[in-house]
Structures are given as structure tokens and as C-alpha cells.
Structure 1
């Protein structure tokens, strides 16, 4: 049976019930109506009509109330927020409509997660390729240029030696920048030394680049899945980047450890706060969190800083 047919049947039964009860009341009550209607009988008729209409409106409104909640959910639904489900089961045929809508959201969310996983995997692969080319090709080329400049400096006349040393220093600085970009694109320390060392190096590099001190407390459980480690690292990286770009903070805090809800990552700052909408960075973090079944929340009271919390269930 279609939803349209079921809804029609429900309204028909409600109205039929109301009018049947009204008819029985008029038939069994001592009230009578003359023909033509006497003026003194009009109040009785109006009161009876008002009672029937009020009862009908109450029953119809109660029966269709879940549709209002469903329409509200349709307007605000976001597949990145798994809590966007209608918990009011309704009654009768509307319960089937609501459960069907929730199942549709589950299917859309699963499809989005699969597409996001594919896109992020491709993104990680592209990052590794670019990082490898930066390190192996551009890095090696700059190294050759630096060694050549060093030999030229040793044989150059005194009046050119200082200038050539300045050029060599510029090349060395560019080489360091290229290596830094390659490390950010492909955290080799994550695969070589593990998540603890990777987060330690990330915090140190962030402090050196931004000038903000980072308080760090990291406890990594044994046997953590590689995908979870990568998600934790990327979200910590994006969280600290957001602190440097938007928070206007003077310090930051990075913690990772096992809590009652699960493995919890927190990035907190003492900046301006007041984040009310998800930007591209936060939405990217939410997409990564969904890949490992984690939950990401952002608390940002105005003037009290921002805290990003990622909970990976046990």
C-alpha cells in the first residue's frame, strides 16, 4: 500500500469516526431540531459543530504531527552528522514512512562514506607521489646546485665570495622548505616511527612555524589500525593549521589518550572562538572521521577558544 493511500485511509477513518460519534450523540441525546430551525436552537447547533470540528482537528493534528518533524529534518539534514535521524516513530502507517526515510539516510551516508574513502585514498596517493617527486627530484637538484655553489665559493675571488655565500644560503633555505613541504604531504615518520613520534614532530614543527607553544600529551594504544593512525594524524594536522590561521591564539594544546568513550584526540586553543559554521577544514575533518566510524565535535564559545574533539569508539 502506498503512503498516499495509507494517509487517505487514515484521514477518512478519523473524520468518519468523528462524524459517527457526533451522529450518535445527536440521535441519543434529548436535543431536537425543528424545521425550520428555531432561533433558540442555533446555540445548540453551533456548540455541536464546534465540538465536532475541534475533535476532528485534534485527532488529525495528533496523527500527522510526525510529518512536521520529518519536514524539519529534511531542511537541516547533513550526511556528515550521523545524529540527523527522526526518533519519533509516529503511529501506524507514518511509522513506515519515517523508518523508510531513516533507512534512505543510512544508504546515502554509506554511499557518501564509500565515495569519500575512495577520494581520500586517491588524495593520499597523490600526496605521496608529489612528496616523492619533491624529495627525489627537486630536492636532489637543489642539493647538486648547493654542492656546485660550495665549490665555486671556495675558488671565487674575495670580492665575490660573500655574495656567492648569500646565494648558497638562499638555495639551502629553499631546499629546507621543499623538504618541509614533502614531510607535510607524506608523514614518513608516521609509517617509520609510529603515531606518537609523528604527533611529536608535528607539534614541534607547528611551534617553530607559528611561534605558538603547544602543550602535548600523547598516549597511543598498542595495535592501533593504520587507517585510524592516519586519520588521527591528518585531523591533528588540520586542527593545528586552523589554530594558526584563524584562532588568533597564544597557545594550543594537543592530547591523545584512551577515555571512557574511546580513543580521544583533542585540539584546544585560547583564541577568539565563536566558530558557528563548518568551514572546508572542519568538513574535511568530519569526512575523515566518518571513514573510521569516529565522531567529531567542535565547541567554540565566543572569546573562550575552540576545542576540536575526535572520539574513535573502542
Structure 2
């Protein structure tokens, strides 16, 4: 009984409506096991009582011993009682099937999937408790994801600074040293030294590109529009896939967390396209639709993304941080469409 009362208090704390209903009833809800037991007993009792009443009022009689002609009457009565019992029990226990199906498909990265109570009063407490558990797990998952992603961003910035300030500067010093060596080197060695010089210069460019991908300084300095333009330009240069970018000029003011989520989702989407899509065209759009900020990334690749990989799950986690909804449509042979919808309260700073 104590466990049932504790669970009831947890569910009531998460559901104000349930708390008010419990206060009106003036009693704590029954534990689910006891309520289910009582429901089965009541249903069976009603069926047997109804069967007894029908036999008592009907003209049918049963001899002792039972005559062969009376066997069909008994079998029909038994069949009717069993059928009525099965029908009533099936209707009464239907919420358990729905609850089992929800348990099998629930995903904390796809929020809002809940079981609604359809008037089965004995199972209301079980349904409310399960829904409250999902609310708690989603809140805890969102909080832990926020901490993890914040730590990840901090680590990215640290690595980007080290790449830029230490490795980048060291390679720059090497380039300057090579230039002095080339100027004093014999003619027969200059061509070879020029090759080494170009290799170091290419390595320096790669280090700078990695640092930009890790820490989008242009996002902090010039804003989201310029950051998306630079990201699209770098992607087209590296992959050879043209990107058509469309950003609404009069976007609402965005918070730094929203801008970073938008940037990272576009970045991850373009990375997935370059690795897996085999696309020849990409479209990126950011605009307000029906009062909500909507980001779309569309390609004409092979599609067919069935399972979420680490990259897509990371995109879903980022979307949850700002209360946005991420949907990915990837029919085989018809490209992939990524859509992020940000509600008004999350889009504004």
C-alpha cells in the first residue's frame, strides 16, 4: 500500500489535473494491481450472476443425470457466458495493450508521445504514473544532454584554439623558415623546396579549416547569415556539390544558443550529405513559416536513411535543447529532407 501511495503522490505532483481530481474524491487512488484484480472479479461476478438469472427465469430445466437433449442448451449457455466475459475483459484491459505498444516505441529523443486515458477509471492511475515517468525521463535526458553538449562545445573551442595558436603558428614559422632557405638554396634544390613549402602551406590551410569547423568564429563575429554562407561555401569547395542558400532577411532576434543549434544542424546535415547522399544539389533555407522559424536542408541524393546514426541523434539532442522539433524524411531514391521547427518562445532571445 505504501508503494502505491508513493507512486500516486509522484503522479499527482506531475499532473495538476489528477491532483485536483484526487482532492475532489477525497481518497488516494487504488494501487493498479488491486484495481485490476477488483475489475476482473466484478466482471466475472456480473457475468455469472447474469447467467444464473437467465437460467432461473428461463423455462429450460436440467435433469439429473443430464439428458442428451439438454447438453446443447448447457453448451450454448456456457459459450455465451464465456463470450460475454471475454468481451468485457478485452474492453477493460485494452489500455494495457496501448501501454505495452507505447513502451516498445518510446524514444526520449522524440518527445510528446503519451497515452491518453479513455475513461478506464481503474487504470487511470497507472496511465498517469507512466506519463509522469516519461515527463521526468525526458526532462532528465534534456538536462544531461545540455551539460554534455556544453562540455563538447567547450572542448571544441579549446582544441580549436590550440590548433590555431600553437600548431598554426608553428607551421607559419616553418613556412617563413622555408622561404629563407629557398632564397639561399642552390638552383637545383629550389624546386624540391618549393614542393615542401606547398605541402606545409596546404597543411596550414587544413589546420585552419579544422579549427573553423570546431569553433565557428564567424558565427560569433558576423552572425548566423554570414556563418551559413561560409559553411555552404566551404562545403561546395570541398565536395563539389553546389548549395542554394536562402535566408529570410528579416528574421526575428535569435539567442546565441539557437544560432549555435541551427549552425550545428546545418553542419551535420551537410557532412552527412557529403559522406552518404551521393547528391548533386543541396538547398538550405531558413525562414518564418506560420509564425515559427523553420530550417530546411534538402538534397537530391539516394535517400533511404532508415536508422538514426550518431550524427542524427546528436542533431535531435540539440533540437531538444531549444524546444524545437526535428523531422527527417528520407524515402529511398528521393533524397533527404531535414526540417527543424522552432516555436516562437524558443526563437526569440
Same fold by TM-score greater than 0.5: yes
TM-score where L is the length of structure 1: 0.97
TM (norm. structure 2) is 0.88
**Structure 1: tracts of 5 or more residues without a match:** none
- Preserved contact between residue 273 and residue 304 of structure 1 (Cα < 8 Å): yes
Partner of 1:233: 263
Q: Could you tell which deviates more after superposition, 258-267 or 234-243? A: 258-267
Segments of 4+ in structure 1 off by > 4 A?
none
Query: Is 1:73 aligned with 2:102?
Result: yes
Q: Secondary structure at the match of 2:92?
A: helix
**Residue deviations 1:16-49, cap 9 Å, x none?**
1111111111112222222222222222111111
Aligned pair partner of 1:147 in 162, 176, 179: 176
Whether 2:194 is the aligned partner of 1:165: answer yes
Q: How many matched pairs?
A: 314
Q: State the Cα distance separating 1:89 from its structure 2 match.
A: 3.7
CA distance in 1, matches of 2:168, 2:117: 60
Residues 196-223 of structure 1 show CA distances to partners (whole Å, capped at 9, x for unaligned) of 0000000000000000000110126232
Q: Determine which of 76, 82, 95 is the counterpart of 1:53.
A: 82
Shift of 1:95: 2.0
Query: How far apart are the structure 1 equivalents of 2:225 and 2:156?
Result: 21
* Residue of structure 2 equivalent to 1:203: 232
Distance in 1 (CA, whole Å) between partners of 2:117 and 2:241 is 47
- 1:90 deviation in Å? 5.3
* Pair 1:63-2:92 in alignment: yes
1:261 and 1:311 in contact (8 A); partners too? no
State the Cα distance separating 1:272 from its structure 2 match.
0.5
| Conserved 8 A contact 1:89-1:98 | no
User: Does the Cα contact within 8 Å between 1:294 and 1:312 map onto a contact in 2?
Assistant: yes
Identify the range of structure 1 (118-127 vs 24-33) with the bigger mean alpha-carbon deviation. Answer: 24-33
Partner residue of 1:266? 296
For 1:81 and 1:308, the matched residues in 2 are separated by 15
Aligned partners of 1:88 and 1:210: how far apart in 2?
52
CA RMSD of aligned residues (A): 1.2
1:108-257 matched pairs, under 5 angstroms: 108-219=137-248, 221-257=251-287
> Which sections of structure 2, spanning at least 5 residues, go unmatched?
1-29, 345-349
Report the Cα distance in structure 1 between the residues aligned to 2:117 and 2:189, rounded to whole angstroms: 81
Identify the residue that residue 33 of structure 2 maps to in structure 1: 4
Residue 189 of structure 1: CA displacement? 0.4
Q: Tell me which residue corresponds to 2:332.
A: 302
> Partners in 1 of 2:94 and 2:186 — Cα distance?
90
**Per-residue deviation, 1:261:** 6.1
Match of 2:113 in 1: 84
